[in-house]
Chains A and B, each alone.
Chain A
Amino acid sequence: MAEQDLHKNDKAGNGQQEAPLTVVEKIKTESRGLRGSLQESLQDEITGAVREPDHALIKFHGIYEQDDRDLREERAEKKLDKLYSFMARLRIPGGFMKPEQWVAAHHIAGKYSTGVIKITTRQTIQLHGILKSQLKPTLKQFDQVKLDSIAACGDVNRNVACTSNPYESPLHTEVHAFADKISTFLLPKSRAYYEIWLDEVKLHEHNEPDPLYQDRYLPRKFKIGIAIPPNNDVDVLTNDLGLIAIIEDGELKGFNIAVGGGLSTTHGNPDTYARLATVIGFVSGEENILKATYEVLTVQRDFGNRSDRKLARLKYTVDRMGVGGFKKELEQRCGFKLETPKPYQFTQRSDRYGWMQDHDGNWHYTVFVENGRVTDTKDFPLKTALLQIAETGNANFRFTSNQNIIVSDVSVENKEAIQSLLNQFNLDGFTNAASAFRKNAMACVALPTCPLALAEAQRYMPSFITKIEALLNKYDLQQDGIIARMTGCPNGCARPYAAEIGFVGTATGKYNLHIGGDREGTRLNYKFRESLDEDGLLQELDALFSIYKNNKAADEHFGDFVLREPGLIPIINSQTI
């Protein structure tokens, strides 16, 4: 520890820590192990919100406070406070759920939230619209099926994502197990979650040494993803820490380690940028893998920027230290050298829809879930269908980073029964009928609940896609699996900068148009046009699809083509984003 303190002093010498700490830093250190005044906040009857400092702390418990922005004006006129509610995001390492857990989630969502189960872009589920008074019952009921929301948000390691489909490799189970191991290894030590939400009594007396997070936690959120090549469904390089499984001769040899990925930017702040993680080495053996992972967090803990949250992610730390400097610091802390990275190749990011049979003979059906919203509509009773499938007890549920569900681990003898449920509720038909473009598309939550949203995303994307599909049909490109993603702000939740086409909201009805990312997720795209409305976007896409159709090489993807085609990029500037 003495050594780490020394480094802190070095940094002070660099002037890095001279700027005052952010308010959130103070809240964290004074939080008595993430307890803050949450207990009191829950008892404040007059408001549906939590107290100001708890706003930041409650995230560490996997919960965001939000309000329905559509209703703000009307409610103010009615002398009613904002309609506050909470989003609870579960910690589901690798996105795996037992059928009884899905059944519980189904009923909890119906009872306490909007009813929609939202599959996130990082393989977990979240429920929106939970009132403050319903938070405890919600978390208690999840606890009964061994699910929690600890550290699903906040300045800690969040849900660990991992390639979803067991079809990908005979070693999927072994790799996937790392998601859970890493998640558990990096949990905060505080019992606050159990005390506040589950009535484990002791409150406040705070004596839980946490060598990893201390009382400062990390400077910013921290995301870890594990990919099993050749599928990069988890968008591994967009994580702070990416682990790329290296499988040779039917054995898991270890992981390439990639650091410094992250997509969030801020409009008008040139110091912010999206970055893909840099592969810095290879590590093998469970102990070393966990150690390296752990120390990446401690370097970020000690070197990360705590004065400006917009510049606090690991990507900025890595660039400030230099990749070499970062690696050196990491190796010093690990006590071993990283090996030279092993070769790997990604060939796709899309999910494998429909049935796939894995190496053990079990079957997995990937259902297309538009924007990850599991709900019943008149034509498509998805939520009911999944409940009935779960109630058979003969299928597990896996969530993909593309916000879909895999009805998984179905034995040969149960496949027919599951298939008949898929048919009965038209899941099969719906999945098959959606265009490749729609199935590859993603959008973030945005309005009305996300406080950061500048423009619509998930509410708007489906109808916008319908209009884009018309253009694709015009050029006979409907089966071209172009990856398009939309967010309502520049923070990048749906990873728009790592898409072939990205729409990044700037204002109501206005989006920046990004193009030129690759299909496999190893290259960021470029900002091509600024603040276009729908007509403007469709005109630009019409023109681009037309050139693409006429000039592309065989098997050339859209993202690669627009980069190669002379005169398209850079149009505005040559900078990424």
Chain B
Amino acid sequence: MLAEPKLKSLSELVSDLSQEELIWVNKYLTGLVSSASKEELVKQAVVQQRITIAFGTETGNAQRLATHFATKAKQAGLLVKLVGLDQYRLADLPKEKYFFTVISTQGEGEPPIGAKKFYDFILASAPGLTQLQFAVLALGDTAYPLFCKTGEEVDEQFEKLGGSRLLPLQKCDLDYEATAEKWMVNVLSYLENSTKATNPTIASAVAPAASAKPASRQVYEGTILSKINLNASGSSKRTYHFEIAAEDVNYVTGDSIAITPRNPQEMVTRILSAAKADPEKLVTWKKETYSFEDLLVNKLNISFLSDKSVSQYENIYGNTIPERKISLLALLQKYPVNESQLESIIAHLNPVAPRIYNIASSPLVYPGEVHITVLEEHYLENGEDQEGICTQFLKEKEENDTVSFFIQTNKRFRLPAEDKDVIMIGRGTGIAPFRSFMAERDATGAEGRNWLLFGEEDFTTDFLYQTEWQQYFNTGVLTKVSLAFTNNEEEPFLIQHKLKQQAEEFYAWVQAGAVVYLCGEKDPMGKEVEDTILNIFKEQGNFSDEEAAQYFEQVKKEGRFIKDLY
């Protein structure tokens, strides 16, 4: 059909094209044939690039965003590789050209478990990434001082390794949707123009995330109405139930509150006297001036220092310190420093983090109040029993004392429609949000069935809120209760073992559309419960490993497996 010269030119043109380029040409020509204007097609052709979108996720949010981003990118005509960091082949990294990371930060600034290998790889073994053009979307929670820490580190490290930053790091708080959407739009519009642009970065494209808390975050001054140790005498635990009144407090069932603890005065006094430091001396921290004492009491984390903080201490002390996860006081006692050294050490300490507690009340039932369930935490530090800082702070509070807090919205952790069934799985204080769920469902007369699976140490002393559950059970609001108490059995009997015993019924509930909630300690309970659920699906559904995983994935996608682990 083509005249000889034209055909020749075309043959020459395609002869050394790669497979990929051929596909592109094919598309290009198809496009030409279509009704699209020539100009647009040229633009599209120029933009067409291969990009990788990698996500590191714990709760599924980063994955959801990355998937959404991939869809948008494909619609924009890009060739997209979407991959979880847990699956990512590390050897591919130096070959990547456009690499977009969506990654969350856990608790005290750690990467998601699935992204740990990737994180360690880029921080330690450091391949040259000179080809790499990258941008990072970081998810986090401003309630934590090390907000979006992992995202920050990935972003910094890519640059250090020779990568070029296409867009500045974008940090997102819990209400990430709008910010993330904007970032995606910016990325895509950048890629569209990239071939024309000589400078690969557009610094002005996105405003850097504000490090301050959003203006909407209202701090409430609450009054403690009641404080009850829920464990009976003889228990190895102390779990406090607090009822806190705060006028106009506004939250939704499923939300949490954040409380920033103060360090115990006694501990601070001992720190200052160990370094012979003047409590009134003015010192600078993060460009602000405080008295030594004020800073130590109100601002700094001094009870459980990060590895980095200990390394800084090591540098200033001038000798190796083998201990990790140690308190400032313990360090001072073992490796004494003087006042000015202490001042330099303090400059490198992290701010004290607020502690997050699931709200255990429903605003429908207790308007103007929040209830929380607080476990008195102990940990061993060099063989010595130490008390958790916020525990200690709250434990010393008495009725009528005040405590300031803010509401931490928890959009993922919501009750479903009233006719949906709910399965609540929790150990220890993980029961707290379920108390709010049941109060809400009782108050609204929701007709969905409710099943509580709860685990603790001892039936007689540790069945948190027992009489309330009995009331719900006797009135029919609570359909089923399954309990696992470790002390009453010869073999350790945990909530996942109980769940396994109930496999058939559990699967039937899930099949019937139940929403499964999991709350409590991430490790090992959260992990083991999740494994157990996967096994139940496999056995009850007669699935292969792969099919079971797919089924679980589908349940998660439908928002029917919701966890809040810590």
Contact = CB atoms under 8 A, between A and B. Distances in A.
Interface of A: 45-48, 71, 74-81, 83, 131, 133-134
Given A45-B483, A79-B241, A131 B228 contact: no
B414 to A, nearest CB: 25
A78 B473 contact: no
Interface of B: 228-233, 241, 459-461, 463-470, 473, 481-483, 488
Nearest to A129: B460
Contact of B470 (A47, A71, A74, A75): A47
A78 B459 contact: no
Contacts of A80: 230, 232, 461, 463, 466-467
B482 A78 contact: no
Contacts of B233: 74
Contacts of B482: 45
Contacts of A133: 459, 488
26 contacts: A45-B482, A46-B470, A46-B483, A48-B459, A74-B232, A74-B233, A75-B232, A77-B228, A78-B228, A78-B229, A78-B230, A78-B232, A79-B230, A79-B464, A79-B466, A80-B232, A80-B463, A80-B466, A81-B463, A81-B466, A81-B467, A81-B470, A131-B460, A133-B459, A133-B488, A134-B488
B232 A79 contact: no
A74 B233 CA distance: 9
Given A75-B232, A78-B229, A78-B231, 13 more contacts: A45-B482, A46-B469, A48-B459, A76-B467, A77-B228, A78-B230, A79-B228, A79-B241, A79-B467, A79-B468, A80-B461, A131-B460, A133-B488
Contacts of B463: 80-81
Contact of B232 (A45, A83, A134): A83
A79 B227 CA distance: 12
Kindly list the 10 A-B residue pairs having the minimum CB-CB distance in the complex, ordered from nearest.
Answer: A45-B483, A46-B481, A79-B467, A79-B465, A80-B466, A81-B466, A78-B230, A46-B473, A133-B488, A81-B467
B233 to A, nearest CB: 8
Contacts of A77: 228
A134 B231 CA distance: 21
A189 B294 CA distance: 79
Contacts of A71: 232
Nearest to B474: A46
Nearest to B467: A79
- Chain B interface mostly helix, strand, loop or mixed? mixed
A75 to B, nearest CB: 6
A28 B488 CA distance: 32
- A45, A74, A78, A133 — most chain B CB neighbours (10 Å): A78
Given A81-B470, A133-B459, A45 B465 contact: no
A45 B483 CA distance: 7
Contacts of A45: 481-483
B470 to A, nearest CB: 6
- B460, B464, B473, B481 — most chain A CB neighbours (10 Å): B460
A545 B241 CA distance: 57
A40 to B, nearest CB: 14
A71 B460 CA distance: 12
Contact of A131 (B232, B459, B464, B466): B459
Contacts of B466: 46, 79-81
A385 B232 CA distance: 34
A406 B230 CA distance: 46
A81 B470 CA distance: 9
Contacts of A75: 232
Nearest to A71: B232
Contacts of B483: 45-46
A364 B470 CA distance: 53
B186 to A, nearest CB: 52
A152 B447 CA distance: 46
A77 B241 CA distance: 11
A48 B459 CA distance: 8
A566 B115 CA distance: 97
A75 B467 CA distance: 10
Nearest to A76: B467
Contacts of A47: 470
A495 to B, nearest CB: 34
Contacts of B469: 46
A65 to B, nearest CB: 14
Nearest to A80: B466
Contacts of B231: 78
A131 B481 contact: no
A294 B1 CA distance: 118
A75 B470 CA distance: 14
Nearest to B460: A83
A134 B230 CA distance: 24
Nearest to A49: B470
A75 B465 CA distance: 11
A133 B470 CA distance: 18
B435 to A, nearest CB: 10
A45 B482 CA distance: 7
A47 B470 CA distance: 8
A77 B483 CA distance: 22
Nearest to B462: A80
Contacts of B460: 48, 83, 131
Contacts of A48: 459-460
B177 to A, nearest CB: 38
A78 B228 CA distance: 6
- A47, A75, A79, A83 — most chain B CB neighbours (10 Å): A79
A548 B253 CA distance: 76
A45 B241 CA distance: 23
A75 B463 CA distance: 11
Contacts of B232: 71, 74-75, 78, 80, 83
A457 to B, nearest CB: 24
B498 to A, nearest CB: 9
A136 to B, nearest CB: 12
Nearest to A85: B460
A75 B232 CA distance: 7
A75 B460 CA distance: 10
A24 to B, nearest CB: 23
Nearest to B452: A46
B376 to A, nearest CB: 14
B430 to A, nearest CB: 17
B455 to A, nearest CB: 12
A48 B466 CA distance: 11
Contacts of A46: 466, 469-470, 473, 481, 483
- A46, A47, A80 — most chain B CB neighbours (10 Å): A46
B275 to A, nearest CB: 43
A133 B493 CA distance: 14
Contacts of A79: 228, 230, 241, 464-468
Contacts of B470: 46-47, 81
Nearest to B463: A80
A80 B233 CA distance: 11
A157 B233 CA distance: 40
Contacts of B465: 79
- A75, A77, A80, A131 — most chain B CB neighbours (10 Å): A80
A82 to B, nearest CB: 9
Contacts of B473: 46
A33 B109 CA distance: 64
Contacts of A78: 228-232
Contacts of B467: 76, 79-81
